Amino acid sequence: MLKDLFMSLSQNQFLNSTAKKYGLKMGAQSVVAGTNLDEAIKSIKELNAQGISCTVDNLGEFVFKKEEATDAKEQIIEVIEAIHAHKVDAHISLKPSQLGLDIDYSFCLDNLREIVERANQYDIFINIDMEDHKRLQPSFDILDELSKEYDNVGTVIQAYFYQSEENIQKYKNYRLRIVKGAYKEPEQYAYQNKAEIDANYIKLIEWHLLNGKFTSIATHDHLVINHVKAFVKKNNIPNDKFEFQMLYGFRKELQLKLAKEGYQFCTYVPFGHDWYGYFMRRLAERPQNLNLVAKQVFNTKTNTVIGLAAGAFLLGRLTKKK
């Protein structure tokens, strides 16, 4: 029920627009690395100093106009220039929908080509994040097109989709991030049972570790992490063939512990004014994250009243609609 609640909230354009006006509230400041590029670069430098690399997401939702997609493209190119100028250990994660996929495929492809070209000049990797099932194949098509010209691009495989085993084999020679999946998908496209998703997740990780180019294992689950540690040791897989990934602000102690143990580690660093949809999906993925949000709200004097009021407002609106 909580997952459905937060997924519904994440797709509410009115609340997304409202959230932009008030900055990072409701505990979002715990999991979003600021609203501007300077703040993001500062966070990246702090993580780099602890032996952690970063993948940077300039957040954006509900892009339906070409002007908005063009602005998003220019902002991402600005991030690429900042990564190069500051010599930080970071690469880019982006969503095709932010760059016009829902407007026009060719327009989106052109935007992505310009981004990948600029990043290629600086040897910066571009990761194409995957979204819901409606955008899945067009996103793979974009990857196929870009790969004809560039080798600094990869993507994400979502374990809850039935076709993920086929896709991971097709794209085995790419750098891939493997995740469970963050959207609510129909049964005709995706596993619905947690045990089935978890089993497929482990299966995909193991297959790509054995057969793939480079594997980014995106999880906060220490059981999965321990399983991977044992698997790579048993199969003599070197540490330079994979990395663990976690989201900014989550399980900080474990992130540092893994980096200190000598594993490659990458933190997913989101930033920007358009934080609301991202934040709600994080709560939908794992309702236990509410504990982190509550702790942040109550520990930040200036945000306590605003945070509680905003939370009550969001839940109240949904209740009234029912």
Coil, strand or helix: which one is 218? strand
How many Å apart are CA 103 and CA 73, to the nearest integer?
14
* Residue whose structure tokens are 């099932």: 133
How far is 41 from 108, CA to CA, in rounded Å? Answer: 26
- Are 274 and 61 a contacting pair, CB within 8 Å? yes
**Dist CA 108 CA 106 (whole Å):** 5
DSSP assignment of 92-156: EEE-GGGGTTTT-HHHHHHHHHHHHHHHHHTT--EEE----HHHHHHHHHHHHHHHTT-SSEEEE
Are the CB atoms for 31 and 248 separated by under 8 Å?
A: yes
* Strand residue runs (E) in 181-287: 214-218, 242-247, 265-271
- Whose tokens are 């500051």? That residue is 86
Token duo for residue 202: 């482990």
Return the structure tokens found at 257. 């512990």
* Catalytic site positions: 129, 177
Contact 10, 277 (CB under 8 A): yes
